[in-house]
Structure 1
Amino acid sequence: MNRRFSKRMLVIATAFAATAVLMGTTACSSSAPEQSSSSGGSGDTVKIGLVTKTDSNPFFVKMRESAQESAKENGAELIALAGAFDGDNEGQVAAIENLVSQGVDGIMITPNSSSGILAAIKKARDQGILVVALDTATDPEDAVDATFATDNLAAGVAQGKWVKAALGDKAPKLLMLDGTPGGTVDTFRHDGFLQGMGLSEDSPEVLGMENTNGDQTKAQTAMENLLQRVPDANSLYTINEPAAAGGYAAIKAAGKQDQIVIGSIDGSCTGVENVKNGVIGATVMQFPTKMADEGVKAIVAFAKDGTKPKAGFNDTGSVLITDKPMSGLDSEDTAWGAENCWG
């Protein structure tokens, strides 16, 4: 090999190495989260994060499935995360940070804590990420770009009005299986139910309350404890249908299923079947599929051209389901409920 050829090879090798370093630097830079408010507009797949309260509650399982289907239909990628349990604010904070690091265009969240999650949401929005709340509003509401949810106060009122009407002339002896303190859903449903019953927090008719985290097993234990203290209870508020099922199990074990009127909120296909079978007297149907679909479409539109959804609360609707309709209350029967459950 002559000296001229050796020198030429050295120049080529040096140029190749420099190019490799430049390409490596460019690749690292492109993996950082996009800061632009329209990061999906370049033709890349829109990335959407979903953070639910848990990954086991049937309501949130349905929401995740619906979000996945809607993302696929709209050419987007869904990354679904969740808290470890109902009330796990720290887990949701970590999930948001995870999604931000993955460069999502938008995040949909059902907050475990309506105020505890605000700092993490602000950090995401400050990086140009659209954040929408599903099912549960933040406090304050404008901490997110938009909310797609049930009017939970109205749903609670509907449950309370039905239970009151179902009691007829009987004075209420009320027990309450609440959810998780700190969430707007829990507060609105609780307050709405009392409003529908014509009661207040301090009314003597309210004889016992227990938190259940919306969990069936916890609700059964809580109801067992409540019945020991108030064996003559005749009415029961439940935060959701798993809580209602747990409460009913305790009521049935105590032989009091004909004594206590049960109301609930969710509208799952299982819950509608429980209404049909007399486990629950009435339930208020929500529409998690609509929540998820509206959230996905809002983020896709934002990622493509910067269009933001209508700010504030967007009501996705609710319907009272019962086979024991009460005068003056709009409702649908369980046949209708079975056809429309969790649409």
Structure 2
Amino acid sequence: MFSSRSILAMAAMSLAASSAAFAADQPVIGLVTKTETNPFFVKMKEGAQEEAKKLGAKLLSGSGKADGDNAGQITAMENMIAAGAKTILITPSDAKAIVPAIKKARDKGVMVIALDSPADPPDATDALFATNNYTAGVLIGEYAKAAMAGKPAKIVALDLLPGHPVGAQRHNGFMKGFGLPANDAKSNELSKAPEIVCMADSFGDQAKAQTAMENCLQKAPEVNLVYTINEPAAAGAYNALKRAGKEKGVLIVSVDGGCQGIKDTSAGIIAATSQQYPLKMAAMGVAAGVEFAKTGKKASGYVDTGVTLIAGKSVPGVDSKDTKTGTELCWGKK
């Protein structure tokens, strides 16, 4: 006969063994974003955490220090693999430079899925879950063309960073939508035209975008349309325009559709933005990682996670949703 103390000890041992077995079986998934501070990636991390909790997975997260920090992303990947991650979700900062690290991970049997941004080449990862960034650019280009109502455009383009696929796709899509000569969606070269009076890299950062816009205003004070790679860049452009007393005469269009970006669209700071859904990207990535852990089946190919044009004011001939809808949907919020 067992004493009550023995029974309690055996129960504790059984619970510990069960916990250890669960931990051993628990899928470990890594999420590597470009930065920890950009609201887009903050929301992506939240989506991954929610889905991991729901599906019983362990999520590891890391990032570079800033857009373009390839070394930081490589270190994060290596640490996650050492910690047992069998799936890595990554938004590549440097689409080409990250490829050897991705190959090294895949050679070890790790599934690698790109979120939001493709690697270069895209098939360097097992799969890509992302907005069609070229389409996102086309939508705001079409909106800007209609909103300008035939007025000659003097465009400032605040881009991402040299050679980045997402930056090129959004920029070239905008050009296509506006009716200007444009490279196709596969090109990493930025399209140019006489209507673009200044081009500058913002790195998707508000402060850097403000500085870039200030420099462009010195070069081209006649600007009346600003294309921005994302909404932090749009906010920086607006601050520069406001300081120069030009904010009322310039149309700003952007991409992301984040909650703050939609507030800025409601306030008239941004005229229109192409909304994408990082929560959905992240949740799909985690679900794919859990499926891989359970069945060995890898995700493959490109999955379009959708894009919607959100406008402060609708324009004839361009399909858009209002900012109320944008607020309800911002970044995948239910």
CA distance in 1: counterparts of 2:127 and 2:291, whole angstroms: 13
Amino acid at match of 2:314: P
Displacement of 1:328: 2.2
CA distance in 1: counterparts of 2:65 and 2:232, whole angstroms: 17
Report the equivalent of 2:42: 61
Unaligned runs of 5+ in 2: 1-20, 182-190
Which of 163, 179, 184 aligns to 2:144? It is: 163
Give TM-score, length-normalised by structure 2: 0.88
Amino acid at match of 1:72: K
Aligned residues: 303
Displacement of 1:43: 5.9
CA distance in 2: counterparts of 1:203 and 1:42, whole angstroms: 57
Which of 243, 251, 265 aligns to 1:275? It is: 265
Report the equivalent of 1:106: 87
CA distance in 2: counterparts of 1:314 and 1:139, whole angstroms: 17
Q: Could you say what the CA RMSD is over the residues aligned between the two structures, in angstroms?
A: 1.4
1:299 paired to 2:280: no
Amino acid at match of 2:330: C
1:42/1:303 CA distance change after superposition, 3 Å: farther
Amino acid at match of 1:164: K
Report the equivalent of 1:315: 304
Displacement of 1:324: 1.4
1:190 paired to 2:171: yes
Deviations 1:166-204 (A, max 9, x none): 111101101011112232111100111111111233321
1:117 paired to 2:98: yes
Unaligned runs of 5+ in 1: 1-39
Residues 268, 312 of structure 2: 8 Å contact kept: no
Amino acid at match of 2:276: Q
Displacement of 1:257: 1.4
Report the equivalent of 1:174: 155
Amino acid at match of 1:273: K
Report the equivalent of 2:247: 257
The 5 Å alignment of 1:73-92 reads: 73-92=54-73
Larger radius of gyration: 1
Amino acid at match of 2:321: E
Residues 277, 305 of structure 2: 8 Å contact kept: yes
* Farther-moved stretch of structure 1 (72-81 vs 202-211): 202-211
CA distance in 1: counterparts of 2:53 and 2:121, whole angstroms: 32
CA distance in 2: counterparts of 1:185 and 1:295, whole angstroms: 19
SS in 1 for 2:88: strand
Report the equivalent of 1:17: none
CA distance in 1: counterparts of 2:192 and 2:281, whole angstroms: 34
SS in 1 for 2:25: coil
Report the equivalent of 1:220: 210
Amino acid at match of 1:338: T
Deviations 1:127-166 (A, max 9, x none): 1111100000111111111100000000011111111111
Which of 44, 50, 60 aligns to 2:25? It is: 44
Give TM-score, length-normalised by structure 1: 0.86
Deviations 1:75-115 (A, max 9, x none): 00000000011110111111111111112110000000111
SS in 2 for 1:214: coil
Report % sequence identity.
52
